[in-house]
Amino acid sequence: MKIEIGKEFPAYFQPSYPEEFELFSHFEVTAGIPTVLFAITTWKENGKPNVCFHAWSCFHGDKTAFFAVMGNLYQHTHTYANIKRDKCFCINFLPLDCYDRLADTINQNGYEDDEFAVGGFTLSNAKTINAPVIDEAFIHMECTLKEIQDLSGAGITAMITGQVQHISVEKEYAQGYEKRYGEDGFMMLIPAPQDLVTGAPNQSAIANVIMKKYD
């Protein structure tokens, strides 16, 4: 038996915080699909570095180009304005032990805040674009803006596609699986899976990748 959830909001769904279903579709917690967590870094208009802790994205391309496709980026944010203005951004993959520091940049992210200082991160300059990078990241992706789409047309979020111009990888992470996939590797966001029978909320979770099979 399958539980069927349609596009109308299920009245029995309980939010885990008051504004949850103002910010996110109920399909988010119906599916609970994990995605990789990372930090988007840009310059604010006043020259202060900006950090955006983000998920809801994928990475793919063909032999001619490679792309970072970032969904669900809110249009009212500094990050959206910075990318739209400067036409570039950097993606930084950090290990799980940086999670709390990245969360601090969500809680203290005013226009005048140096968000690298808020998170205690070391700032370097990207090699091919005008963006800051987090030294503590084990992989950096330097991206130029390819496209912005408002998929819903509601003016709330945007899907931003960046074309990857350069990648830097820490030497420890440059050979094989051990460092990239485990406690020191990619962080995954598991969106709080709603109890589809009772409507009760759950907490979101953070996970690491565990290798189970080789293809």
- What integer pLDDT is reported at residue 193 of this predicted model? 96
Q: Determine the pLDDT at residue 31.
A: 97
Residue 190's DSSP bridge partners are 205
Q: What is the mean pLDDT of residues 114-129?
A: 98
Number of C-beta neighbours around residue 207 at 10 A: 13
At residue 123, the pLDDT reads 98
**For 71-99, what is the mean pLDDT?**
97
187, β-bridge pairs:
37, 208
pLDDT band at 213 (very low <50, low <70, confident <90, very high): very high
Average pLDDT over residues 100-127: 97
Q: Which residue did the predictor score with more confidence, 98 or 215?
A: 98
**28: nearest Cα among 191, 159, 202:** 191
Q: Residue range 193-203: average pLDDT?
A: 97
Average pLDDT over the chain, rounded to an integer: 97
Q: What does 116-135 look like in DSSP terms, one character per residue?
A: HHHHTPPEEE-SSSS-EEET
Query: What is 35-186's CATH topology?
Result: Pnp Oxidase; Chain A (2.30.110)
Which residue intervals of the chain are DSSP H helices? 20-23, 26-31, 78-86, 99-107, 115-119
* Domain locations along the chain: 1-33+191-215, 35-186
pLDDT at 202: 96
Tokens matching residue 103: 């969360």
d(CA 51, CA 42): 7
Long-range contacts, stretch 125-130, CB < 8 angstroms, 24+ apart: 126/88, 126/90, 126/166, 127/166, 127/168, 128/165, 128/166, 129/88, 129/89, 129/90, 129/165, 129/166, 130/43, 130/86, 130/88
On whether the CB atoms of residues 191 and 202 are closer than 8 A, the answer is: no
> Residues of 149-171 as b/e, b for ≥16 C-beta within 10 angstroms?
eeeeeeeebbbbebbbbeebbee
